[in-house]
């Protein structure tokens, strides 16, 4: 989770855009082909990830959900396009990240979606389980915005769209 300082610091840049458009759904409406699904229960992390994605690709469409079950429901909704990338936190309520990843990999229609685990946990066991379940990468969340942007740049290399 990011400190109150970072939330206040970045508030002046574009919090208005985030608060108006977020509504737990689409943050950037205009998109070429790239759709990123962010599954994270921490609102500060959601905001920082969304801002980092937007700073790197203004045409990127971002959808945010706050737990693994919401992510599965969104992914299984056949009336919506599949994302180019799923950014998945591990520690979420209702359905955690590892269980979400397992369900994604066991659903034939979802198996090809790139998933990157982005979490505060630096546990070797969590890293190993995530990679064995099919995550393409496991990245520990940095504590600063520049670190977030660098991590997102790395994640974007896994995009399928």
At residue 4, what are phi and psi to the nearest 5 degrees?
-60, -35
**18 pLDDT band (50/70/90 cuts)?**
very low
Which tens digit of pLDDT belongs to each residue from 115-147?
999 999 999 999 999 999 999 999 999 989 899
The answer to whether residue 4 scores a pLDDT higher than 60 is no
Q: Residue 30's pLDDT is what?
A: 35
Q: At how many degrees (to 10) do helices 68-75 and 97-106 cross?
A: 20
Q: In what order do the strands lie in the sheet with 137-140?
A: 61-65, 35-39, 85-88, 115-119, 137-140
Q: Residue 17's pLDDT is what?
A: 36
Which tens digit of pLDDT belongs to each residue from 60-97?
899 999 999 999 999 999 999 999 999 999 999 999 99
Q: Residue 56's pLDDT is what?
A: 87
The answer to whether residue 11 scores a pLDDT higher than 60 is no
Mean pLDDT of 14-35: 42
Q: What predicted TM-score, i.e. pTM, was given to this entire model?
A: 0.79
Which tokens sit at 42? 């921490």
Q: Residue 161's pLDDT is what?
A: 57
Q: Residue 106's pLDDT is what?
A: 95
Q: Residue 44's pLDDT is what?
A: 92
From residue 36, give the alpha-carbon distance in Å to each of 25, 76, 82, 129, 130.
Answer: 11, 15, 9, 23, 19
């Amino acid at each position: 989770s990011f400190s109150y300082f970072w939330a206040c610091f970045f508030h002046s840049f574009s919090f208005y855009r985030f608060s108006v458009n977020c509504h737990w759904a689409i943050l950037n409406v205009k998109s070429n082909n790239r759709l990123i699904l962010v599954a994270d229960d921490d609102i500060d992390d959601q905001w920082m990830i969304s801002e980092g994605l937007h700073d790197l690709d203004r045409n990127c469409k971002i959808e945010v959900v706050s737990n693994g079950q919401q992510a599965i429901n969104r992914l299984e909704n056949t009336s919506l396009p599949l994302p180019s990338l799923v950014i998945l936190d591990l520690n979420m309520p209702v359905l955690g990240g590892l269980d979400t990843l397992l369900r994604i990999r066991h659903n034939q229609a979802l198996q090809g979606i790139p998933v990157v685990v982005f979490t505060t946990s630096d546990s070797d066991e969590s890293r190993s389980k995530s990679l064995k379940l099919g995550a393409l990468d496991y990245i520990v969340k940095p504590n600063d915005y520049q670190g977030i942007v660098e991590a997102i740049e790395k994640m974007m290399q896994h995009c399928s769209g």
